[in-house]
Amino acid sequence: MRQSTVAQVRFNTESTQRQYGLVGTAAEFGWLAEQIVVVDADLGVSGRFGAERDGYRQIVARMCMGEVGAVFGLEVSRFGRSNADLTWLMELARLTDTLLIDTDGVYDLANVNDRILLGLKGQMSEIELHFLLGRLHGAKLAAAQRGELRHPLPVGFVYDYDHTVVKDPDEQVQRAVTDLFAEFERTGSALGVVRAFAETGRLFPQRAWGGAWAGQLKWGKLTHARVLQALKNPTYAGAYTFGKTRDVRRVQPDGSVRSARRKRAREEWTVVIEDHHEGYLTWSDYLSVEAKLAANNTQKNARPVREGTALCQGIIFCGVCGGRVGTRYDRRDRKVTYSCQVKDSARTPACRNFSATAVDDAVAALFLDTITPEQIAVAVAAAEEVAERHTRSHRAAELAVQQARYEADRAERAFSNVEPENRLVARTLESRWEARLAALTEAEAALATAKAAKPPLPATDSLQALAHDLPRLWHAETTSPRDRKRLLRSLVADVTLLPEPDAQTMRIGVRWHTGATDELAVARPGPGRTPEAALEVIRRHGATHTSAEIADMLNADGLTTGKGKPFTAGGVARVRDAYKIFGPRTVAVQDGEVSVKQAAAELGIPADAVYNWLRLDQVPARRGPSGRWCIPWDPATQEIYQQKVAGSFRLTPLPPAQRSPS
């Protein structure tokens, strides 16, 4: 038994009953009831490929085992739409002396005439399938080219009485769909839309297809998959489409055939009718959304805007090897560095690391200087969008309150109209009224939460004044790094770190979307680039003076560090370490004092822990003339250090017998 689709099983019941009636035919031919086996595993399964049908495989297996005397069917095509499957079944029937019986007669495959007749029927069945598919697909394509072929509509659209696609008359549904596209325009990512809906507690509708809830709307939390599904659906742009997917068949190693549905590129869609109906966005907006989603796809080497502070992240390249430049964040000193990301085999000696702050400051200064007064109107429009978004964020909650209030009033009227004596009905209506009142309370609470989630907007005059001062808007604390990156990318295509002949200078190339280019030369900041005049003073006096004395000399001569700051004793000491300039040899530790290593040995802990306490000024000590730490090791000081060791959960002091002698 076989039916091609589940719909045929549900609605073409007469054919199914006729196939089950073959049990009586087999009994009339003389088979006993216990000898008759009904194979109905292929109901609702296409007959194109026998390897995909459990019932077909069951018949073949039992025929090979010699357990089948005859196979009954209404017609030969029931065994398979593929002529190869039918031929294989006929060959097995010939070898096992199995009869094939349908409404036209009994076929003994050992008889060559019966084989020819069944083979002809199988070819006719396969050709019949070709003509049927051709006529059906031709009719569908003709209707689709007129935009009249009906298909399930996404949420937010319905068919009216004359089968025209229109927006859902429910304002709450319209508002939810509008908010989805508005939030994507604001955040620039599908995940940002999900977060925006979650922050305000907004729900999104979904239409059920099939089952008891077929055609009805359900409200639930918005998910990332549903956002992508809506953003990629051209129906929301007012377009009618057909042929966006294609069927692909693959032959598996075991010889079976598997079918899969693959998406086509937009240029390969069979039918595209723009302005077919009223949409929630224009076709150009849909193409813009498509481009933004492609720019967010990191699996295809896209570099979307991230949360970090690096302004040029994602659009910066190395001018030496041509590779991408990545961003490296150092948690210890909170430094941000641009570093070439190519592999070591392709990395050249000229590929260097650059301070992200120096590069970003230079590019931002060029960007702000390039903005013309005509583009101020864009900032004003952005401020108006903020005001509209502030109102739109809680508009959906207001509509939900209106709907809940209507349902509560309706339940109240139904309860008021029932006769008091009819308590069975009154109790049911009363409980329904109470449920509607509870839903109204929840909707009002959600509205209050949505309004409280958004801070009040400033006056329009102040927004316009701020829009005319773009540098102030750029440097405002309320402007997030993501907003600065989006604003920069609106005009700047990419940034290139060009090779420089001078190691102390950075050459930065900026390419605008218009095709114009600019080149910047910026001095590379310190540390590690102390001026030569200061290095000469440190080398000349390093062997005879302390770091503090040399710092006073440098400051008296008006010399500064690589960052333009005054010298300190610690700064001079770091320069000494970097350039191997040794200080005067003096005895630092006096009587009654110990060094850091000696104190650590007495306590049975690592010396790094003592250095950390000294840097944080948590324990008593003094600096010697050479900059070494000297700890007065009296009973009071020892008590302080021992308390620090006892109060630390990370330190495990060594037993006294294992400690090094001081």
Strand bridging mode 70-72 / 99-102:
parallel
Classify residue 650 by its DSSP letter: S
Spatial distance between the Cα atoms of 371 and 168, rounded to a whole number of angstroms: 43
| Active-site choice (4, 46, 339, 626) | 4
- φ/ψ of 100, rounded to 5, equals -110, 125
Spatial distance between the Cα atoms of 523 and 500, rounded to a whole number of angstroms: 11
Q: CA 438, 440, 445, 450: dihedral to nearest 10 degrees?
A: 140
Q: Where are the beta strands (DSSP E) in 554-628?
A: 593-594, 622-623
Spatial distance between the Cα atoms of 263 and 243, rounded to a whole number of angstroms: 9
Question: Using omega within 30 degrees of 0 as the cis cutoff, is the peptide bond preceding 632 cis?
Answer: no
DSSP character string of 276-313:
SS--SS-HHHHHHHHHHHHHH-GGGT-----SSS-TTT
Structure tokens at 641: 């250090």
At CA 192, angle to CA 188 and CA 193, rounded to 5?
95
Is the Cα dihedral 654, 655, 656, 659 positive or negative?
negative
Looking at residue 156, its amino acid is G
Spatial distance between the Cα atoms of 234 and 151, rounded to a whole number of angstroms: 14
Q: H helices within 336-394, ranges in order?
A: 356-370, 376-392
Residue listed under structure tokens 């077919």: 276
Spatial distance between the Cα atoms of 250 and 107, rounded to a whole number of angstroms: 34
Structure tokens at 280: 């929630």
Looking at residue 297, its amino acid is N
* 662 part of the active site: no
Helices (H) and strands (E) in the chain, counts: 23, 23
Looking at residue 83, its amino acid is N
- Please say whether the beta carbons of 471 and 458 come within 8 A: no
Question: Smallest Cα–Cα separation from 662: which of 587, 622, 607, 586?
Answer: 607
Strand bridging mode 517-523 / 505-512:
antiparallel
Spatial distance between the Cα atoms of 67 and 70, rounded to a whole number of angstroms: 10
- φ/ψ of 236, rounded to 5, equals -70, -20
Three-state helix/strand/coil letters over 207-276:
ECCCCCCCCCEEEECCCHHHHHHHHCCHHHHCCEEECCEEEEEEECCCCCEEEEEEECCHHHCCEEECCC
Is the Cα dihedral 46, 47, 52, 55 positive or negative?
positive
Is the Cα dihedral 180, 185, 190, 195 positive or negative?
negative
Report, as residue numbers or ranges, the catalytic residues.
Answer: 4
